[in-house]
Chains A and B, each alone.
Chain A
């Protein structure tokens, strides 16, 4: 494996980590807000608060990690993505700031104001949509060069593209699917049967749309980027495997093995995520940047990988501790009642 491939694999891992933890977080915020409107808030409130409070900060770090690593391994991406994505990513930042601060304000400060909770839910759906612009742009076709030689985002093309909207739709439904699946597991640990019933229902509701949108995107890719479409087809067996995990996770959900069901949901996304990543090889930003021409110097690459390994040796035990104390810990989760 070349060091470039190793670099992008590491980053892909972080992005995947963010997708999972952020999905749980965003989805939880959404369910928290939507159940207020549907008058079922009292059922899910405890479970969500118990989970979110100690971990919400960690979620943010995954994003920064991915992003800093990206600039470290592939400094040229800073120029292209930085220039083009000023507006969409600024919108994401604003939403992230509002979300993070209002969460802290309402949780640690004044107890649960309705407006806060609503805002928390709304930002939870808007952030995945705005962040996915980075992914959409990286597929190529949305960057234009102006007469003065400047590069810019073609907003009209972006806003009118069914392909772009499909990716936004996929990010939304998969956020809700992942989150519901996790929260179903979490409520089963907490032995909170009402919450479990509700989250189980949500998992079913959001599972099939996830599959439809994902399939739709693969088909749309044929027109949007034929080369990438070929790449996806070549990896059909991985997507088939991902689909198999999806079926297994639903079967496990039906047979009340919620922990395993969630693990298979993660597997399903992991396989699809990596297959998608491999299929676009070697492009970071089609057709401007490949992982080879934008790679940083060798010295820095090795230094980053060494630090990465050392850092993981520190992080994995710490994350395990968090897991043990807050996620796998029955007395903690149940105490909220």
Chain B
């Protein structure tokens, strides 16, 4: 393997680790805000404690997110120097704004964390969350516009290798931006809600009957349902976007070779050496409907695209994983919500609780699969239509060594995070904290 391959794998490794923490980083502040708000509004100490405990765990994930984020920020220039030299003139603006948003969030998160009992009016402490939520959302927005730009570059003219007529805002608000940003935000909120629901369900599965965990589960599952539906809707729009702007990515994802109307949607299956699809489920017309909202609409096939621009066909599996999990989680949370409302006892069975526990990790897998699909799906380009991945990569011969070093580092990091988070909450169960809280209140009342 050469430096290009290793640069790709190292970038993939860093981003795959970072996205776990970035997703939680975007999603958890919203959940903390909701819980804290409910707690103050209803004067319910359970919700307040929920916000407190989530925040405590969140700090760990933010710390890891910050350091892996710093790693990827620096690695972009180390591994893709030619690309950054070129793109730096086009997307420096959103990159710069992302750091501002991140700075803003970091400052207020620090303040929120260390001022739990420093304000007489608890609402003032609560308001500190607004910049945290805004900052995390804005940094996701800005950084996603950069990624969107790499998929659909615009806002400049290239004349004999020289950039002219540069319009930073046009580059930022490129055709991929709306669907990408919306999908990133909704899926982050959705995934976080499921991850937190998993934790609550885990305690119930373990036989803990405390009111606190029931409240946590009901709240997170409701939020999860709302954002699952939103994610699915945006996902549909993303498909339509792909068909129009990146038909090769959609065609590769769907193993759609012939340009035709009445195109079926291909789910699962395997591909033979001669590009024949076997064992797949075909839903007639579905792809045409997805793309054109019309069963007879024509969908571009891979055979109409020059072979050197074909993305790897493996992205079909990533696409399947993402969509299957997405649909399952939407149906699952809808069912939970109806069952809760109608008082069905099925949601209290062991099996159902196991499914609840699984939902968080599943959502995270869908996030990873979705990013692999979108990133591998734009190969061979690093900047679609303008620069291939090989042209952007470093020619340094030491990338393999760095790959090994970072792989080892991330392993330590992930293990450390899991160990610390479990230890932190095992040693300090909810019951103990609630007791302490009511003791404090009693002493205040005296």
Partner-B contacts on A (CB < 8 A): 53-55, 57-58, 60-61, 63-65, 67-69, 71-73, 75-76, 78-83, 85-87, 89-90, 92-94, 96-98, 100-105, 108-110, 150, 152, 296-297, 299-300, 303-304, 307-308, 311, 314-315, 318-319, 321-322, 325-326, 332
Known: A97-B409, A100-B66. A318 touches B85 (CB 8 A): no
Query: What's the tally of chain B residues with a CB closer than 8 Å to chain A?
Result: 73
Asked whether any CB of chain A lies closer than 8 Å to the CB of B67, the reply is yes
Please tell me if the beta carbons of B67 and A307 are within 8 angstroms of each other in the complex: no
Asked whether any CB of chain A lies closer than 8 Å to the CB of B238, the reply is no
B53 smallest CB distance to A (angstroms): 12
Known: A67-B73, A93-B71, A299-B166. A58 touches B106 (CB 8 A): yes
Please tell me if the beta carbons of B103 and A315 are within 8 angstroms of each other in the complex: yes
Max count, chain A CB within 10 A of own CB: residue among B77, B86, B166? B77
Asked whether any CB of chain A lies closer than 8 Å to the CB of B75, the reply is yes
What is the bound-complex CA distance between A71 and B78, given in angstroms? 12
**Closest residue on chain B to residue A99 by CB atoms:** B67
Asked whether any CB of chain A lies closer than 8 Å to the CB of B279, the reply is no
Please tell me if the beta carbons of B424 and A304 are within 8 angstroms of each other in the complex: no
B84 smallest CB distance to A (angstroms): 4
Known: A78-B84, A82-B394, A322-B111. A93 touches B75 (CB 8 A): yes
Please tell me if the beta carbons of B63 and A75 are within 8 angstroms of each other in the complex: no
A contact residues around B99 at 8 Å (CB) = 61, 64-65, 68
**Closest residue on chain A to residue B114 by CB atoms:** A54
**Closest residue on chain A to residue B14 by CB atoms:** A93
A contact residues around B88 at 8 Å (CB) = 71-72, 75, 78, 296
Interface residues of B in 76-111 (CB under 8 A from A): 77-82, 84-90, 92-93, 95-100, 102-104, 106-111
Please tell me if the beta carbons of A53 and B78 are within 8 angstroms of each other in the complex: no
A contact residues around B102 at 8 Å (CB) = 61, 64
Cβ-neighbour of B168 out of A97, A108, A300, A332 (below 8 A): A300
Max count, chain B CB within 10 A of own CB: residue among A67, A79, A86, A152? A86
5 A–B contact pairs at CB < 8 A? A57-B63, A85-B78, A150-B396, A318-B131, A321-B111
What is the bound-complex CA distance between A76 and B88, given in angstroms? 8
**Closest residue on chain B to residue A153 by CB atoms:** B396
B79 smallest CB distance to A (angstroms): 8
Asked whether any CB of chain A lies closer than 8 Å to the CB of B405, the reply is yes
Please tell me if the beta carbons of A83 and B70 are within 8 angstroms of each other in the complex: no
What is the bound-complex CA distance between A58 and B77, given in angstroms? 22
B contact residues around A75 at 8 Å (CB) = 84-89, 92
A192 smallest CB distance to B (angstroms): 19
Cβ-neighbour of A101 out of B56, B63, B166, B402 (below 8 A): B63
B90 smallest CB distance to A (angstroms): 8
What is the bound-complex CA distance between A67 and B98, given in angstroms? 13
Asked whether any CB of chain A lies closer than 8 Å to the CB of B59, the reply is yes
Please tell me if the beta carbons of A69 and B96 are within 8 angstroms of each other in the complex: yes
**Closest residue on chain A to residue B113 by CB atoms:** A54
Asked whether any CB of chain A lies closer than 8 Å to the CB of B395, the reply is yes
Known: A71-B95, A109-B423. A82 touches B67 (CB 8 A): no
